[in-house]
Amino acid sequence: MADALLTAPGYISEIEKGKKKPGCDFLSKLKRVFGINIDWFLTGEEIPSDKQPIVDKNPEIVELLEGARRVLKSGNPVAFDALERNIRYFDHAVAVEKRLEQVEAKLEAVLNVLAKTSEMKKAANE
C-alpha cells in the first residue's frame, strides 16, 4: 500500500496505531489511488453499506471507473448510451464465457468417466 501511495510504510503504520492523524495529501492519495471514501477519516461517521463506493486496489481499474463515472454524469446522452451498452454487452460476454468454462469442465469430467468406463469394459472382456 505504501508503494502505491508513494508514502513511507512507517507513516502508514503510525496512522494505523493512532500515533498520527492522516494529512490532506495522504487522504487525497487514498481517494485517488484506491477510490476510498475518506468521509470516515474526516467525520468518524460510518458510511451505510449500500452507499459505499466501489473500491479496488488496482489504480488502473479505479481510473477506468472514475472515467466511466464522468461519462455517465456528463449529461451527454450519446456518450451515456454508448458506454451503458458497452458495459452491459461486456458484462454479459464475461458471464457467458464463465458459464462456457463451467460447461467445458463438466464435459471434460464426463468424457474422463466415459473413457475409464470404456477401459474397464475392455479389460473385463480380455
Top-level class of domain 2-73? mainly alpha
Instruction: Please give the radius of gyration of the chain, using alpha carbons only, rounded to the nearest integer.
Output: 25
Cα gap 26→6, rounded to integer Å: 9
H helix runs in the chain, sequence order: 2-5, 9-16, 24-34, 39-43, 59-73, 77-125
pLDDT digits (tens, 9 = 90+) for 6-35: 778 888 888 888 888 888 888 888 887 777
**pLDDT by residue (tens digit) across 96-124?**
999 999 999 999 999 999 999 988 888 88
Angle at CA of residue 35, ends 58 and 4, nearest 5°: 45
pLDDT in tens, 55-73: 667 788 888 888 888 888 8
CA distances from 42 to 37, 46, 82 (A): 10, 11, 37
